[in-house]
Structure 1
């Protein structure tokens, strides 16, 4: 399969143009023919650039030209996204007037019948020359109706149909057909040189266009943007078959060159982060999905699965370090040299602004900010095509209203707006005009009190993160309108969440509820059929959390943290949970004395169990030893925990084992000498804290040796 970046971008655009939604929308506003012409140009570009990979081009001027093509394709993608935005808006409007739609449709059908009768009467026994130019409508039934109308109503009339579709030509029946050829080489060269200029390899370039005038004009326009001397190549250089110059990739793991283009694009986004940054897989997946970098998932997958597959591929290629596998999610860092590689490759599209580096490339697509005092007059960007604004460093956020207003007014194609750690008291109402926005984060904004209702018009929004907005009084009304939302993070002073609105989010996969101190109950009778990850943190008044497979059929990750009154053993007496969890993380739960028995239903699926700061945890259940899929196990700061289950050694899939802050259990798990060492010695990664008395003994031995 051809994995060149331009062909893959072009394929994506062609698929969008060919979709029924875009076709209908373009017909409605009268630009159908223009889109089909552009589709033809894309097909020509694909043929022209079939074997070119951007990072393999060794001629600097050629790199500039290829980047120009890439930006043209990105601009086209933005335009097509406008159609999709309009479609979603229309769907939401129509959803409120369904009761009226039927009567309107009936009226339209009656009008169509009357118009056909009137047309038949007008055409009766008349002679016409009917010209249908550049036809793309491929419904054979409608064509049949038109032909029958013509044959029954018109005498000796002539019909001329022009089309680039062979299937449409075949529908014309008895109408004589003529296949037109492309321009000759001389005419093609004449057209190219008229738009651009005469260059030595012009004939080779034009030959790639196959005589298609649109492709010739497009390439001619691109060439005309540069001086003649930039394009005068030596005749012995094969323009389209170039080799990799080592100077382009100063740090080059060989596995990078074998990545798919989708994965290469994902990899380049790491250049927006500083060295030693700790990544979490769900955040990375959200960014990749928001930018449309992930291919469509298989029937049994979601985009999270696709992203995790990519991360595992990068891990296997030694791009990551300190990689921790928690079953359904991962933590990891990137080698400094690998980060340098990402920056080198993506330097024209991804840029991290700091006090040392403020000169922003003209056509930059993705921006991140390392400091919060760079947002005044010192920062300027001419690009209007920016898709990403990030503040990746915790504690560093935006504070300038001028900067926020600039983002909203100038960057109309923004897909990611990460205002983490910002200090805004409110957002402008105009933020609802960012129709392309997929990712909006106000995480840890401790001043904001309200979010404008206009954000509920962001129908493309996939991620809304309000976690840590501790002064947020109320959530915006109309959350149910965010039909594309896959991830929602909530912090609010409300005592009752808008659960009915949340239950109507039919794409919701991740729900994070944090610091909702007035919240006493959750999910009473509410179904969340697509939810995969649930995180409940710092909800001090929460007393119950009923979960079962009927209401949460896809739930696989459960994290409960610092809910002091929550008792996970209550409320399940008459409830068969039957959940199939893959990851269970329990933190700072004072009520917890053992693992709740209703979690036993997940033994066949459980991959990760982590318990932290549960001071009253005393016993691990024996059924835990039957968790044959368990790969990650950790007990941290549970001082009363003293024993492992008897058959713990049967957990042969276990690859990560951590015991820390559990003095007696740590003693029993000491390497070579501990009572439990034979049960855990088969595990690949073992981290066992040393009890204080052992540490003191080692200090004494070390002191004696020194003396």
Structure 2
């Protein structure tokens, strides 16, 4: 609901005001009293909303009043952003004045506990009944782990799984499952009335009882939907019930699935509602990647603060998994440390309806939007002439569709001059040759993308004054002659994407970025080496793509202690064994994707050191890959394994059947290996038949039949 959104907003701002560095800095520059005044106003707003919620007295504030309250909170956030900018600027200036040149390299050691092994010991030879009710998890890896745990030395175990998901039921294997059926109309009415009214209270509301059948019919016999509707009515007054009925019929619900989602949305925590609403800025059938979504949510301040051993990426992934569990996401593909997913068109309609006051995707039908819109996206290049008022409150500008970007200089000028509070500026696929130096005045900016801007030759050095910037994406800027000077000043940067003609990257500057978690290096054709002696202690994901001159990529635990995901693609001369002769990497990688590497004849031996951590291994278009090492069978946690277009690959490791955690196997474009893995008849079939999801390309000579 709108009130809970305001409460979450106020609460998140209060948390920032209470932080120690804000307190100390406000004292230093003499604004402590002013900050306390703002804080007291926020506390009043929070207390008022909290009191209404505690008393269970439903208050339907007018949209105008809610908007005014939200505007006050936005103003408070803008003040705090300005203050945070000045604090970071002072830190950077002081660092230069004091000649601080040492990069923080220490990180807290990750605490790894072997709970699963302990649980196996405890449960060994025990008899038990485990009931998993209403299961909706469709991740085959999780079910494989559960089956392995249950079967490890235990006898007489019984597991009962109930689910409405046919795909979940199909993955149960030997675990008995029962697919839940919808309630009858008679049972649905009985459940609804039992929850909605105290005993005998339904007599007070005969009109509502009469329309109860229609409400229940819309629920389609789904107990969750019926229960949710009943709880919303319980103990409310006649006036509130009438209001509830208006809300219920306000949204054009025409199927029970969408109704259940709407009710599930209403029951979400406030931060998750905000995150879901941002999807309304994207077109139907859009393919999302988790890291991009996480960066956008973080830039807009929608995520709760991470715990001690978490980052915002971890928090964002938890939000995505929760949305998936609530059936808001589909086509969800897990690559160990990241996810691809889509949103059903009906769900996207729901997001657009709910977020219509704050989010807008521009179309040819509407050329002007409400002055209160905070987040704006464009589906075409010619739709942005009249979208900005003199003092725009817009915080997000997106061009989400690949190939569609901005070209108008007037549009760019308006962004710089009128959108003072921009937090997200995505100019992907645009056609500008340069950015104005005034870009460096967007103090609130957290996210700046020029991805696939193939004409830009220069990025002003002034962007390195954007001390709040968390994402800078220059990938695909193939004419960019050099990177802006002063990258080390971007002290808040979490994600950096680079394309440049320079033969050497400013690695010392990059090493100063103590919050950097994702680094994407693409189309740096003159680059021959990377990271010789450079430490990146916070880096979790490294992508190196289309670097045709790159010859070596030495990586080790000392220099990359938190590295989890490595993707190397289309590097013609890269030898992954080069530079590792006297080096023990000891990396703890979770996902490895190797694409288009002609030098790859077998997997480099240093990958073996990720035996106890690797979850996903994908090999694509490695034309000279001939053999897989036998140690591959020791990757005990490997959940997904793909080999695509590796025509010389003919054999699997002998002990591949020992990969009991493997839930996803794909083999395509490997003719002889595909023949050996054919269903029932292939010589390898008995060793891979335990895998839940198997995709084996049919050999060419069999396709004609």
> Which of 651, 654, 659 pairs up with 1:651?
659
Query: Are positions 1:312 and 2:321 aligned together?
Result: yes
Change (3 A) 1:357 1:59: farther
Contact 2:555 2:585 in 1 (8 A): yes
SS of the residue 1:339 aligns to: helix
Q: 1:488-637 residue pairs with structure 2 within 5 A?
A: 488-637=496-645
Match of 2:430 in 1: 422
Cα deviation for residue 283 of structure 1 reads 0.4
> Which of 340, 353, 365 pairs up with 1:344?
353
1:380 and 1:432 mapped to 2: Cα distance?
A: 20
> Which of 244, 247, 267 pairs up with 1:245?
247
Match of 2:441 in 1: 433
Match of 1:696 in 2: 704
Contact 2:388 2:418 in 1 (8 A): no
> Which of 372, 381, 402 pairs up with 1:394?
402
Deviation track 1:616-674 (CA, whole Å, cap 9, x = no partner) reads: 11111111111111111111100111111112122222222111111111122222322
Contact 2:38 2:76 in 1 (8 A): no
1:609 and 1:470 mapped to 2: Cα distance?
A: 29
Match of 1:330 in 2: 339
Change (3 A) 1:479 1:587: same
Deviates most, 532-541 or 661-670: 661-670
Match of 1:407 in 2: 415
- Give unmatched runs, 5+ long, in structure 2: 101-236
Q: 1:163-562 residue pairs with structure 2 within 5 A?
A: 237=239, 245-249=247-251, 250=253, 251-252=258-259, 253=261, 254-376=263-385, 378-381=386-389, 384-562=392-570
2:249 and 2:51 mapped to 1: Cα distance?
A: 21
Q: TM-score, normalised by structure 2?
A: 0.76
2:92 and 2:241 mapped to 1: Cα distance?
A: 50
SS of the residue 1:49 aligns to: helix
Match of 1:229 in 2: none
Match of 1:98 in 2: 98
Cα deviation for residue 381 of structure 1 reads 4.5
Contact 2:568 2:593 in 1 (8 A): yes
2:25 and 2:511 mapped to 1: Cα distance?
A: 30
Match of 1:224 in 2: none
SS of the residue 2:619 aligns to: strand
Change (3 A) 1:71 1:52: farther
1:525 and 1:531 mapped to 2: Cα distance?
A: 15
1:401 and 1:517 mapped to 2: Cα distance?
A: 30
Match of 2:8 in 1: 8
Contact 1:4 1:50 in 2 (8 A): no
1:402 and 1:48 mapped to 2: Cα distance?
A: 44
Contact 2:589 2:614 in 1 (8 A): yes
Contact 1:321 1:332 in 2 (8 A): yes
Deviates most, 65-74 or 391-400: 65-74
Contact 1:3 1:261 in 2 (8 A): no
SS of the residue 1:673 aligns to: coil
Change (3 A) 1:684 1:319: farther
SS of the residue 1:368 aligns to: strand
Deviation track 1:372-419 (CA, whole Å, cap 9, x = no partner) reads: 11133x544466221111000000001111111111111111111000
Deviation track 1:455-484 (CA, whole Å, cap 9, x = no partner) reads: 000001111000000000011111000001
Cα deviation for residue 556 of structure 1 reads 0.9
SS of the residue 1:635 aligns to: strand
Equivalent residue pairs, number: 560
2:657 and 2:39 mapped to 1: Cα distance?
A: 61
1:284 and 1:546 mapped to 2: Cα distance?
A: 30
Contact 1:415 1:439 in 2 (8 A): yes
RMSD (CA atoms): 2.5
1:564 and 1:283 mapped to 2: Cα distance?
A: 27
Match of 1:114 in 2: none
1:88 and 1:35 mapped to 2: Cα distance?
A: 18
Change (3 A) 1:646 1:287: same
Deviates most, 674-683 or 305-314: 674-683
SS of the residue 1:394 aligns to: coil
Match of 2:189 in 1: none
Contact 1:540 1:562 in 2 (8 A): yes
Deviates most, 598-607 or 7-16: 7-16
Change (3 A) 1:42 1:552: same
2:315 and 2:48 mapped to 1: Cα distance?
A: 30
2:82 and 2:387 mapped to 1: Cα distance?
A: 29
Match of 2:187 in 1: none
Contact 2:6 2:70 in 1 (8 A): yes
Contact 2:450 2:477 in 1 (8 A): yes
Match of 1:669 in 2: 677
Change (3 A) 1:245 1:664: same
- Higher gyration radius (CA): 1
Contact 2:389 2:418 in 1 (8 A): no
SS of the residue 1:496 aligns to: coil
2:617 and 2:675 mapped to 1: Cα distance?
A: 21
1:652 and 1:492 mapped to 2: Cα distance?
A: 44
Change (3 A) 1:51 1:526: same
